[in-house]
């Protein structure tokens, strides 16, 4: 499994070999097989029941692309998609691709200030949102983009459309009579621009090509053969509670599952009763989870054994999960783990996203590197490659799924991607005698709250804007339900005495709910730094 490279690097190859994948654009790939089951339901809203068959969804995608063209957008322009999970959110994503544009997905929970930053960095030329959050998104648009920027709104039956909005449904109805888009795009063009803070600093646009997305879907499919195309009697049914704006919801759930003919039931917000209602009414076959959902499934009195009757796979990733939590789940419901398999996955926005998938045997392991995913473990101190089981090092990744780089940020790109294409993940791992991998720590600055990224640099910059704050440092501390939560250390200015609540109130309206300082604030005399002024986070922990 370990091959020595030309620079004496020790490369851990996938036991699944290399994968071949078609030279196809992502929206074409997603609908490639849909002609075999045109009348199966592809998308269904878990709240209002709105449905699209595969034939309808495929056509709608193309009409949306044509309509966006007709608004004057040009090939390679960025369209911002800021919407909770709805069928129309998925159609928007694919429609943006079919028009030859790039989609930057923005967290719909963001405040207007947070949205503005991404709209500007991504240089968005149009926005698609939904009525329930339209007023916040509109405020962000008004503050930073031209009033001519098309503002398209999905009607999610809550809230209303700001003046001058374009109803999303018009894109589909009007697009029908427009000529097809003459696409001049290749697999090496960028199609998605999700944001990630990577190993350090503020969120950056992660440039993902069509090739990255398509290859990663085939890498997973080749490595775990657990999903089947629909037949006259079977179709995978998957509730989508993971947000589509995040790469896990986008290219581990939405695109791959649709391309293999599953029905996706969209859930805009995790509400326990709604989730259970969907499990009650549908023969759900697979669950895509983050650790807090696994804890919910195990602990909630609403969840019953029969909810898992048709479930063949439970996937979990985006943050660490303890083996004990999975054992508890199986014990509580007395479910056969051979029939309803549990597997962890390990992914990153920068790798489109999947690199490792569990084997269904060792629950605390992220499993093995999937087909075409090459891996190195690099000793943090000596910078030498590790080729022995049990030793920890930084995980490096190479393959067709690795991003092109960070948008307009050469320094961050250079610090993350080596010249010969290795991506430094900033995660610490080791492997056991079976080549099953385990994540043990995070070298990078990132804090993960319920699987969502919280870049400490963003909170530190905000804290430093408080008139009483001289210096600030933020780290993640463990939290029972959220995994981690941010905690701040603050040095106050001379003669100033802000309280913890003063500081928390200052942060409150500026960043989303999950970024709030739930770990509390400690006032200190100084913040440990190295000679170049970098905060010594490990020391602070």
Residues that bind ligand 4UW (CB under 6 A): 196, 247-248, 252, 315-320, 344-349, 353-354, 366, 425, 427, 439, 442, 448, 451, 453
**Angle CA 93–99–104, to nearest 5:** 40
Query: Would you say 190 or 492 has its CB closer to ligand 4UW?
Result: 190
By C-beta, is 88 or 394 nearer to ligand 4UW?
A: 394
CB of 56 to ligand 4UW, least distance (A): 28
* Least spacing, CB of residue 285 vs ligand 4UW, in Å: 16
Interacting residues of 145 by C-beta distance below 8 A, sequence separation 6+ = 119, 124, 127
Comparison of 186 and 440: residue with beta carbon closer to ligand 4UW: 440
Please state the closest distance from residue 131 (CB atom) to ligand 4UW, in A.
Answer: 27
Nearer to ligand 4UW, 89 or 216 (CB): 216
Toward ligand 4UW, which CB reaches closer, 136 or 197?
197
Smallest distance from ligand 4UW to CB 466, Å = 28
9-12: long-range contacts, CB 8 A cutoff, minimum separation 24: 9/376, 9/385, 10/376, 10/377, 10/385, 10/386, 10/387, 11/374, 11/375, 11/376, 11/398, 12/369, 12/374, 12/375, 12/376, 12/377, 12/387, 12/431, 12/435
Task: Write down the least CB distance from residue 255 to ligand 4UW, Å.
Answer: 12
Print the SS3 string covering 497-511: CCCHHHHHHHHHCCC
Cα–Cα dist 394/516, whole Å: 29
Shortest spacing between CB 75 and ligand 4UW, in angstroms: 27
For residue 307, what are its two tokens? 């909810």
Instruction: Output the smallest distance, CB 146 to ligand 4UW, in A.
Output: 31
Taking the complex as a whole, the smallest distance from the CB of residue 344 to ligand 4UW amounts, in Å, to: 5
65 or 393: CB nearest ligand 4UW:
393
Query: 338 CB contacts (<8 Å, ≥6 apart)?
Result: none
Nearer to ligand 4UW, 315 or 488 (CB): 315
CB of 395 to ligand 4UW, least distance (A): 8
Q: Which residue is nearest to ligand 4UW (CB)?
A: 317
Taking the least distance from each CB to ligand 4UW, the nearer of 58 and 343 is 343
Greatest alpha-carbon span in the chain: 75
**Which residues does 50 contact at the CB level (< 8 Å), separation at least 6?**
44, 86, 87
* DSSP label at residue 19: -
Nearest CA among 136, 132, 199 for reference residue 159: 132
| 78-82 and 124-130 beta bridge pairing | parallel
Pick from 349, 374, 376: nearest CA to 247: 349
Query: Nearest distance from residue 465's CB to ligand 4UW, in Å?
Result: 26
Structure tokens at 103: 């989609």
Residue matched to tokens 């063949």? 312
Pick 185 or 401: Cβ nearer ligand 4UW: 401
CA 82 vs. chain centroid, Å, equals 14
Cα pseudo-dihedral 81, 85, 86, 91, rounded to 10: 40
CB of 91 to ligand 4UW, least distance (A): 22
Residue with smaller CB distance to ligand 4UW, 366 or 412? 366
Which DSSP state fits 386?
P
Interatomic CA distance for residues 502 and 463, integer angstroms: 11
Smaller CB distance to ligand 4UW: residue 465 or 477? 477
448's enclosing H/E stretch is strand 447-449
DSSP 220-268: HHHH--------SS---EEEE-S-TTSHHIIIIIIHHHHHTT-EEEE-S
The conformational region for residue 486 under phi > 0 = left, psi -120 to 50 = alpha, else beta, is beta
Residue 35 CB, shortest distance to ligand 4UW, in Å, is 28
Nearer to ligand 4UW, 69 or 209 (CB): 209
Q: Measured from the CB of residue 66, what is the shortest distance to ligand 4UW in angstroms?
A: 32
Return the number of the residue (86 or 248) whose C-beta is nearest ligand 4UW: 248
């Amino acid at each position: 499994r370990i091959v020595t490279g030309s620079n004496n690097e020790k490369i851990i190859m996938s036991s699944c070999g290399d994968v071949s994948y078609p030279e196809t654009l992502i929206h074409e790939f997603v609908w490639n097989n849909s002609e075999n089951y045109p009348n199966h339901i592809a998308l269904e809203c878990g709240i209002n029941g709105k449905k699209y068959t595969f034939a309808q969804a495929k056509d709608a995608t193309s009409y949306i692309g044509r309509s966006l063209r007709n608004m004057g957008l040009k090939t390679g322009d960025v369209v911002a998609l800021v919407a909770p999970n709805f069928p129309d959110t998925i159609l928007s994503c694919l429609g943006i691709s079919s028009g030859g544009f790039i989609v930057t997905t923005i967290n719909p929970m963001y405040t207007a200030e947070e949205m503005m930053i991404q709209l500007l960095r991504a240089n968005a030329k149009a926005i698609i949102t939904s009525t329930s959050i339209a007023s916040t998104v509109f405020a962000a648009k008004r503050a930073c983009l031209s009033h001519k920027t098309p503002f398209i709104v999905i009607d999610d039956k809550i809230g209303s459309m700001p003046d001058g909005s374009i109803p999303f449904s018009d894109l589909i109805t009007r697009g029908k009579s427009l000529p097809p888009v003459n696409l001049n795009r290749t697999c090496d063009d960028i199609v998605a621009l999700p944001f990630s803070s990577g190993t350090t600093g503020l969120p950056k646009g992660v440039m993902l090509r069509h090739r990255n997305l398509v290859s990663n879907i085939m890498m997973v499919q080749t490595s775990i053969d657990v999903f089947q195309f629909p037949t006259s009697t079977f179709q995978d049914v998957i509730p989508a509670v993971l947000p589509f704006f995040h790469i896990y919801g986008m290219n581990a759930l939405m695109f791959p599952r649709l391309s293999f003919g599953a029905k996706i039931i969209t859930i805009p917000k995790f509400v326990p009763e709604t989730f259970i209602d969907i499990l009650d009414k549908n023969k759900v076959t697979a669950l895509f989870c983050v650790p807090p959902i696994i804890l919910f499934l195990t602990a909630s009195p609403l969840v019953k054994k029969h909810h898992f009757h048709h479930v063949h796979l439970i996937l979990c990733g985006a943050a660490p999960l303890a083996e004990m939590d999975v054992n508890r789940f199986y014990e509580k419901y007395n479910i056969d783990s051979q029939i309803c398999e549990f597997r962890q996955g390990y992914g990153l926005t920068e790798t489109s996203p999947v690199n490792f998938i569990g084997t269904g045997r060792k629950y605390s392991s992220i499993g093995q590197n999937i087909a075409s995913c090459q891996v190195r473990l690099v000793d943090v101190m000596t910078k030498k490659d590790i080729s022995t089981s049990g030793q920890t090092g930084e995980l490096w990744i190479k393959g067709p799924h690795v991003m092109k780089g960070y948008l307009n940020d050469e320094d961050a790109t250079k610090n993350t991607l080596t010249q010969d294409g290795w991506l430094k993940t900033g995660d610490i791992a080791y492997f056991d005698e079976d080549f099953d991998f385990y994540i043990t720590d995070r070298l990078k600055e990132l804090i993960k709250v319920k699987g969502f990224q919280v870049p400490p640099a963003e909170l530190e910059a905000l804290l430093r804007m408080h008139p009483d704050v001289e210096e600030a440092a933020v780290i993640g501390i463990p939290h029972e339900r959220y995994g981690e939560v941010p905690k701040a250390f603050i040095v106050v200015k001379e003669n100033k005495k802000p309280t913890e609540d003063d500081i928390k109130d200052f942060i409150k309206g500026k960043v989303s709910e999950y970024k709030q300082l739930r770990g509390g604030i400690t006032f200190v005399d100084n913040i440990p730094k190295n000679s170049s002024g970098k905060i010594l986070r490990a020391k602070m922990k």
